[in-house]
Structure 1
Amino acid sequence: MAEVFLGEALVSAIIEVAVEKMASPEVLDYFKGNKLDRLLRKLKIVLISADAVLTDAEEKQITIPAVKKWLDELKDAVHDAEDLLDAIATEALQCKSEVKSQTCTSKVWDFISLSVNPIVKGIKSELEMIIERLEYITKQKDVLGLKEVAGGVPSRQLTTSCPEEYGVYGRDVDKEALFKLLQSDEASSSNEICVVPIVGMGGIGKTTIARLVYNDNRDYKFKMEELVQLWMAEDLLQQSKGNGRMEEIGEQYFDDLVSRCTFLIELPAKMGKLVNLRHLDITRTKLKEMPLQMRNLRNLQKLTAFVVGKHSGSSIRELGELRHLSGTLSILNLQEIDYGRDAMEAKLKDKKFLSELVLQWGDDTNDSENERNVLERLYPHTNLKALTIEHYGGTSFPIWLGDRSFSNMVSLNLVNCKYCSFLPPLGQLPALKELSIAGEDEGRAFSTLQELCVIRCPKLRSGLPNHLPSLTHLTIEECQQLVASLPLSPAIHELKLKDCGKVLLKELPPTLHSFTIEGCHILQSFVELMTSPPSGCRLFTLKSLTICGILQMPRGHYYPSLERLELQGGYDSLWSFPLEFYPKLKNLEMYGCENLESFSVLDGSHQDLTSLTLLVIRNCPNFVSFPSGGLCAPNLTQVTIINCKNFKSLPERMHTLLPSLVALQLSWCPELESFPDGGLPSNLKTLDIYYCDKLFSHRMEWGLQGLHSLKSFHIHTKQIEVESFPEETLLPVTLTSLAISSFPNLESLNSKGFQHLISLERLAISSCYKLQCLPEEGLPTSLSFLHIRQCPLLEHHCEREKGKEWPKIAHIPLIEINFEVIT
């Protein structure tokens, strides 16, 4: 290191800076909050006392070596004091940022009180030693015969009558010589301090030229606002055609000038020695790597970019010590990282003040596994609000990307991640508002992506990619604010849209097999979308279609390949559903179709229903009946009809036309009175009848005794006249599971109804509040499970070892009462 010893001009300037730092609000608050303000006043007094004799010391240092040594010792001590004040200011700012919720200064300093903070204790001890050292040095001034000169800090009386800076002539050569000497390679490479004395008779301008060098504008710090105001005063700004303020125009000038640093390719090699540096903005530069020892800049709070280099000095590990970084950080050239563990040592997870992070790879390295390992270990802090990943060459994203702990992330940008086939689980980012998926060209952006799922992103407004050529599955759910065109892909065969705001579907993909749309506002006619060329041709390949909401199903169109159809709330204008248009239909589910009255089948087309296996009709209040003559669906296995208040009759001849029917559920159909002539199909295994009171009144006509395959029977009713159940011969001998519920006046279980149920294994009784006793002859010995719930009288009589009904059930291996196992 090389320094020019300029006597008073240098040491006094250091003292002046130190005094200014003592006057800063952060330092004052720190000392007051920790009750160290007495030491602060003492330090200021001793510095001013030393400064008072500097003018006399300058004159004597040339002829008296002891004075020169005294000045050296004073300079070193003042340097130590300045460094300590810097550390205090940094610690003060750090503590304030950590205690965000406390606005009162006293509360902030209570948080780091002297009694609990070892850092404060160390600072106090070091400060006391510095003051003691300065006091010792200043006491020697009397021994050396140094005299005080009126003035002090911050303004001092000049030693000559020459102006301080302006109007100095004839010394330009000397000034430039000093500059060159300070910047020379010889001086910077020397391990010893180089002293350049400025000697001569008093009054010839020694102090003046020292000030000229020290105050040269080439090292002048200024504020942008002050510079813009100066330009305005000098009329250097030109008013634009718009209405922009002159200050805004000046800021644009300033930004333009700063941007002229785009050709900067390297920083000073010894940048690591700027240990008090807090802000380093290298935006728009062309740096190839960072200088050595960046880890020494521990006070750095703003670093716009870190360029990873090939040698160890610019390794990403250097970031590990920079724990105060805040704002935006871009890490570039990540392809230079050879090992994933190096990325972990960057300690991004500890940088809680970062709000935006950019991770960028360079050229294609063809090492996707290493890039995956690197990204996996660049796990940022969960306070992060915005993340950008560019030119990532891995085939998948790490688990942390999309983790629900990133609850503050509002923006995610994925740029040219062309080898990834799957996106992260974006639905776990509740605050996400902006999603951008892009590439260098339309064909390369996620060119191999096969599945895109955007689920539960309620604040997402836009950002879906326009072109994903390999996409086969697209799911968008619960993105209520989304307004976007859907990605184009000829390969999509599964499309699911649910609660996703406003979407524009230009046309249906040519290979679409499954299409679900629920709670979405389509920005064009859904009927036109489904029927207009070329989308109309897609109906021939469509195999699954789900429509929920007020969208209208296209009428009069043939769906030769459709296998599954689910309608929820739509189709309101159609009163008869034409089954003949769906010859391959396997599953038909209709919910909330309020105007639906019946199904229709053209004469001679019964054979076209051979594929139908599932039929569900629910909440269709006007549905009345099936086609006249019955429903010829030989492979239909399950029929469910729920809450159809006007439904009156099951399909005719169902005992012969529905030979494969194994499950029938009828719920809340108050107008249904009976089963069709011929009864139910003989292969029926499960029968559930809930609250069909008219049908229940004709229960003895059901003919269940003839259903030799029936295994499970559940019955719920509100019939008030029933006091004993079931009647003799009502249930078939093959029954293995029986559930009885909601009989309001049921008092006992009929012994004759149970005596022939020799195969019964499970019995559930619930919500029969007057039921008191079980069959007199007891329950079948085949019973292995008994469940009783909300039957208070029966529960009391079935208490273990105590209740009067206990002997009737003691043999049952498993008994539950209100879901509590008692055996």
Structure 2
Amino acid sequence: MGNLVNLHYFDIRGANSIERIPFRIGKLTNLQRVSNFIIGEGEGHSIRELKYLSNLKGDFCLSGLENVKGEDAGEAKLNEKQGIDRLVLEWSRDFRKDTREKEVEEWVLDSLHPSKKLEQLVIQNYGGSKFSAWIADSSFKNMLSLELHDCKNCKSLPSIGRLLLLKDLSISGLDQVHKIGAELFGENQSNAFASLESLCFGNMLKWEEWDLCEDDEQVSKFPSLRFLSIRECPLLLGRLPTILQSLQKLEIYECKRLLVSISSFPLLCELSVIGCEELVDEGSLSVQKVTSLKNVSLSNISKFNISAERMMLRFAKSEKFVISCWEELGSLSQNGLSLVGHRIITIADCPQLVFLETEERLQLDKIPGVESLEIRDCERLNRLPKVLHAFPFITRIQLQNCPALVCFAERNFPPALKELRIVNCVNLQYLVDEKENNNKSMCSNTCLLERLEIVLCPSLMRLSSRGDICNRLQHLDISYSPKLSSLFLNAKLPVMLKKLYIGACPVLECIAQDFRETTDLESICIWSAHKIKSLPRGLDKLSHLQEIQLISFPNLVSFEEIGLPTTNLRVLTISSCENFGSLFKCINNFTSLRKLKVWECSADISFPEEGFPTNLTSLAISNAPKIYTSLVEWGFNRLTSLEDLDISGEGCSGVVSFPDEAIGMMLPPSLTNISIRRFQNLEFMCSKGLQHLTSLQLLGIFDCPKLASLPEKDMLLSLERLYISNCPSLEEGCSRGKGREWSKISHIPCVQINYKTVIPRELH
């Protein structure tokens, strides 16, 4: 590489297997950018080559420093490379190596003094017990960002407060630091951290005390700080800084012993506290002016020490409001909280929550401007507000794991609601309580509901007694609701419905009388609906329908009576419908059909007289010996666009080769994926029938006990993945390095036998 004397850029980002920088890189004196200068094990002296690279600029990472000795590090002449504005000094993450010596690493760090023009410095995995004095040298007048990560042996921090222009400071993983105090600010600093805007501490497992020296009135602490984050400091005691006049965002995560006071943060607009000892907001409301928070997330806080009046002042107008793991919360009202003023509300893991807010309070206040409401894992919540129907702006509601909830609404749906998702509410019986609804429509014609999803609601008996849940409904998804007997008693689907998904509703007998008014329907997916005997009439008139999937539909016999749309249908799946015995005779006219799956249906199902649509890209056939036999005779090769083929051979006892050698069966050259299954008497695969498959990437062979050989290697050259399972004769032949079939597959990047990789990609 030393001959590339005109090389300017050497970027090896993402090449994680490279263990060292190339030899003689020092001869490339025109280099301007080197993403990572890696010092290999035993190659510590190669750092000396850096002294010749005087044109380096921009970002520069120097890694593998655990392999360097102090006398070599000094020869790098980093202080002369004034074009470097961001420097990363990185040691190995492995602190268990016997070769790691604290004194040596301290010497190395001392010797890697960079240029005074440096703007950003990152030190990672340093093993010394103290930092070099140059890190906090006030002569670094351009230093804007400093990061100290996973320096496991350091017991104290340098006097970073001397860096007067520093804006971002991040410190994490300093396991030996117990106290942070005056040393951080430096001596005689009347304006420490004058420019600091972001301060982050993380994963400081032994940090117990943060002494801010706030009794020193001559020192102004963090006058410009806007963002403070303290994460995973489990032993940290005491309070946060008491006066942070510029703080706008505060983030506390898993600091279980910390008292978090937001009393002196007048500009605070984003607050996230997850796991702390106590949350406090004190002070005189008449004296101190504070802004209302915009984004609030409160979780797993042992004690709330905030008055109801203060709660209203701080939290009443937040756009995003999240509460979780609040053990004592019985309602929002009891703690001075309200639905009023929030745009997005999430409440989770509040086991004592019974209701959100008293009706009197909602009537006294202005109507809530909530747009999204999500409630999860609140086991005692038994009702939503009675005036929910009057929330004018709410567009999304999600209720999950609320077992005490019996109905969603006591009157109509909110008029702007577009998405309603209800999951695992085991006692939910109705969406709307008809008794309270006075026989009115649960959803007026002006309702904007587009998506309704109901999952794991075993007590749900019906959606509506009137059938007009919403004319604008576009997505109806219902599954795992075993008591659901009818969707709509008058059997009328929403006019604007686009997606119909019904699953695991074993007593559901009727979906609707017909599809005649649901002309925009695009997708139908129904599974485990054992009592449904047929789909509604008018299916053949759905000109926009693109997908039909019917799974575990035991009473379905055929489509002959109701017909299918031929215009835009692209996906047709009939699976585990054991009485389904007839495909359309004219299915070849379905010119838009791309994916066809007939799986585990009646063994007597026959091949349509005119064949399959030749534009199919995916075909899956199982338990259909008549179809397989006729399809072979008709000619697989007619399917000139076919890419995925999945064939299961139940009942095909006479098949001994695939493709069938006796009739010269050919497969379409467009195939990229082939899976063959359950051919009990299959003995070999015919190379001739596979010879044109130059694009084949995946071959799967499953449950073929007599199959002993694969096609010739020339037929498998394009393969990237080979899967073999429950084929004992073939598995023995493919044993690595010794099986007779090994030479045919040793070039394939990924081979799995019985779901275990036998040829890892790295061996190639």
TM-score after normalising by structure 2: 0.54
Which structure's relative contact order is higher, taking Cα pairs within 8 Å and 6+ residues apart?
1
Cα displacement string for residues 659-690 of structure 1 (whole angstroms, at most 9, x for unaligned residues): 11111112211345223221111211011123
Structure 1 counterpart of 2:606, from 674, 677, 686: 674
Q: How far apart in 1 are the matches of 2:270 and 2:583?
A: 72
CA contact (8 A) 1:580 1:601 kept: yes
Matched, 1:561 2:496: yes
Displaced runs of 4+ in structure 1, greater than 6 A?
Answer: 323-326, 341-344, 357-366, 383-388, 521-525
What is aligned with 2:85? Answer: none
Cα distance between partner residues in 2 of 1:616 and 1:361: 64
Alpha-carbon offset, residue 622 of structure 1:
0.8
Q: Deviations over 1:711-731 (max 9, x none)?
A: 110122334544332213252
Check the 8 A contact 1:576/1:597 in 2, yes or no: no
Measure, in 1, the Cα distance between the counterparts of 2:668 and 2:498. Answer: 36
SS at match of 1:700: helix
For 2:723 and 2:747, locate their aligned partners in 1 and report how far apart those are by CA, in whole Å.
Answer: 14
Which amino acid in structure 1 is aligned with residue 720 of structure 2?
S
1:379-528 alignment runs, 5 A limit: 381-382=301-302, 389-391=311-313, 392-397=315-320, 401-402=323-324, 406=325, 408=327, 411=330, 413=332, 415-424=337-346, 426-427=347-348, 429=349, 431-437=351-357, 440-442=361-363, 444=365, 447-462=368-383, 464=385, 466-467=387-388, 468-483=391-406, 486=409, 489-500=414-425, 501-502=427-428, 503=430, 505=432, 506=437, 507-508=442-443, 510-520=447-457, 526-528=463-465
Which residue identity lines up with residue 476 of structure 1 in the other structure? L
Give the Cα–Cα distance (whole angstroms) in 2 for the partners of residues 362 and 551 of structure 1: 57
Change in Cα spacing, 1:393 to 1:714, as seen in structure 2 (3 Å) is same
Q: Does structure 2 retain, via aligned residues, the 8 Å contact 1:499–1:518?
A: yes
Instruction: Choose from 306, 327, 338 the match for 2:266.
Output: 338
Task: Letter of the 1:460 partner, please give it.
Answer: L
Match for residue 473 of structure 2? 542
How far apart, in 2, do the equivalents of 1:609 and 1:380 lie? 51
CA contact (8 A) 1:559 1:583 kept: no
1:688 to 600, 612, 620: 620
Q: Is the 8 A contact 1:478 1:499 kept in 2?
A: yes
Question: In the superposition, relative to structure 1, how do residues 325 and 499 fare at CA in structure 2: closer, same or farther (>3 Å)?
Answer: closer
- The alpha carbon displacement at 1:556 in A equals 5.0
Contact 1:715–1:741 at 8 Å: present in 2 too?
yes
AA at the equivalent of 1:338: P
Q: How many angstroms apart in 1 are the aligned matches of 2:535 and 2:341? A: 50
Unaligned runs of 5+ in 1: 1-308, 313-322
Residue 760, structure 1, aligned to residue 696, structure 2:
yes
Instruction: Give the partner amino acid of 1:466.
Output: V
| Residue number in structure 2 paired with 1:283 | none
Deviations 1:172-222 (A, max 9, x none): xxxxxxxxxxxxxxxxxxxxxxxxxxxxxxxxxxxxxxxxxxxxxxxxxxx
Report the Cα distance in structure 2 between the residues aligned to 1:411 and 1:339, rounded to whole angstroms. 30
1:659 to 569, 574, 591: 591
The amino acid of 1:649's aligned partner reads S
Instruction: Kindly state the Cα deviation for residue 365 of structure 1 after the two structures are TM-superposed.
Output: 10
8 Å CA contact 2:497–2:521 kept in 1: the answer is yes
AA paired with 1:684? L
The alpha-carbon deviation at position 741 of structure 1 amounts to 2.4
TM-score using structure 1 length: 0.50
Kindly tell me: are residues 677 and 789 of structure 1, through their superposed partners in 2, closer, same or farther at Cα, counting changes over 3 Å?
A: same
Q: Using the alignment, how far apart are the partners of 2:306 and 2:615 within structure 1?
A: 61
What SS is found at the alignment partner of 1:765?
A: strand
Distance 1:742 1:596, change over 3 A: same
2:558 aligned residue: 625
Could you tell me how far 1:445 is from its partner in structure 2? 6.3
Hey, what does 1:614 align to over in structure 2?
A: 547
1:553 CA displacement? 2.6
Contact 1:420 1:446 in 2 (8 A): no
The amino acid across from 1:495 in the alignment is L
Aligned-partner Cα distance in 2 for 1:791–1:520: 42
Paired residues in the alignment total 475
Residues 801 and 335 (structure 1), Cα distance of their counterparts in 2 relative to 1, 3 Å cut: closer
SS class of match (2:465): helix
CA contact (8 A) 2:648 2:678 kept: yes
Whichever structure has more helix as a proportion of its residues is: 1
* Cα distance in 1 between the residues matched to 2:277 and 2:535: 65
| Residue 659 of structure 2 corresponds to residue 711 of structure 1 | no
Residues 467 and 493 in structure 2, CA contact (< 8 A), matched pair in contact too: no
Going from structure 1 to structure 2, the CA distance change for 1:496 and 1:349 (only over 3 Å counts) comes to closer
Deviation per CA, 1:2-54, whole angstroms, max 9, x where unpaired? Answer: xxxxxxxxxxxxxxxxxxxxxxxxxxxxxxxxxxxxxxxxxxxxxxxxxxxxx
Take 2:450 and 2:695, find their aligned partners in 1: how far apart are those partners? 46
Where do residues 318-337 of structure 1 align in structure 2 (5 Å cutoff)?
A: none
Q: Which runs of 5+ in 2 are unaligned?
A: 1-241, 246-255
Q: CA separation in 2, counterparts of 1:677 and 1:364?
A: 88
Contact 2:597 2:621 in 1 (8 A): yes
* SS state at 2:671 partner: coil
Secondary structure at the counterpart of residue 436 of structure 1: coil
- Show the counterpart of 1:221: none
Name the Cα RMSD after superposition.
Answer: 4.5
In 1, the alpha carbon distance for the partners of 2:274 and 2:586 equals 74
The structure-2 alpha-carbon separation of the partners of 1:477 and 1:431, relative to structure 1 and needing over 3 Å to count, comes to: same
1:552 aligns with 2:477: no
Name 1:700's counterpart in structure 2.
Answer: 632
CA distance in 2, matches of 1:544, 1:379: 33
Deviation by residue 1:412-440 (Cα, 9 ceiling, x = unmatched): 5252353211113x34x173543424584
User: 1:652 corresponds to which letter in structure 2?
Assistant: K
1:20-59 equivalent positions in 2, closer than 5 A: none
Alpha carbons of 1:417 and 1:398: their partners in 2 closer, same or farther (altered >3 Å)? closer
Query: Do the aligned residues in 2 keep the contact of 1:799 with 1:806 (CA within 8 Å)?
Result: yes
Q: Give the deviation of 1:521 after TM superposition.
A: 7.5
Would the aligned equivalents of 1:508 and 1:529 in 2 still touch at CA under 8 Å? no
| Aligned residue number for residue 806 of structure 1 | 742
What CA distance in whole angstroms lies between the structure 1 residues aligned with 2:286 and 2:386? 23
Check whether the contact 2:281–2:305 (CA below 8 A) recurs between aligned residues: no
One-letter amino acid matched to 1:611? H
Instruction: State the alpha-carbon separation in 2 of the partners of residues 385 and 768 from structure 1.
Output: 69
3-state SS of paired residue (2:373): strand
In our comparison, the structure showing a higher alpha carbon Rg is 1
- CA distance in 1 between partners of 2:517 and 2:485 (Å): 19
3-state SS of the aligned residue for 2:356?
strand
1:788 corresponds to = 724
Give distance in 2, aligned partners of 1:763 and 1:553.
43
In structure 2, relative to structure 1, the CA distance for the partners of 1:380 and 1:811 (3 Å cut) is closer
Secondary structure of 2:558's partner? Answer: coil
Residues 451 and 473, structure 1, Cα contact 8 Å, conserved in 2: yes
Distance between the aligned counterparts of 2:352 and 2:688, measured in 1?
66
Conservation of the 8 A alpha-carbon contact between 1:464 and 1:484:
no
Cα distance in 2 for partners of 1:677, 1:338 equals: 79
CA distance 1:749–1:365, change in 2 (3 Å): farther
Map 1:265-414 to 2 at 5 A: 338=266, 349-351=276-278, 368=291, 371-372=293-294, 381-382=301-302, 389-391=311-313, 392-397=315-320, 401-402=323-324, 406=325, 408=327, 411=330, 413=332
Which amino acid counterpart does residue 422 of structure 1 have in structure 2?
A: I
Alignment of 1:743-782 (within 5 A): 743-775=679-711, 779-782=715-718
Distance 1:430 1:575, change over 3 A: closer
User: What is the DSSP-based 3-state SS (H/G/I as helix, E as strand, rest coil) of the residue aligned with 1:783?
Assistant: coil
CA contact (8 A) 1:526 1:551 kept: no
Decide whether aligned partners of structure 1 residues 442 and 803 sit closer, same or farther in structure 2, where only a CA change above 3 A counts.
same
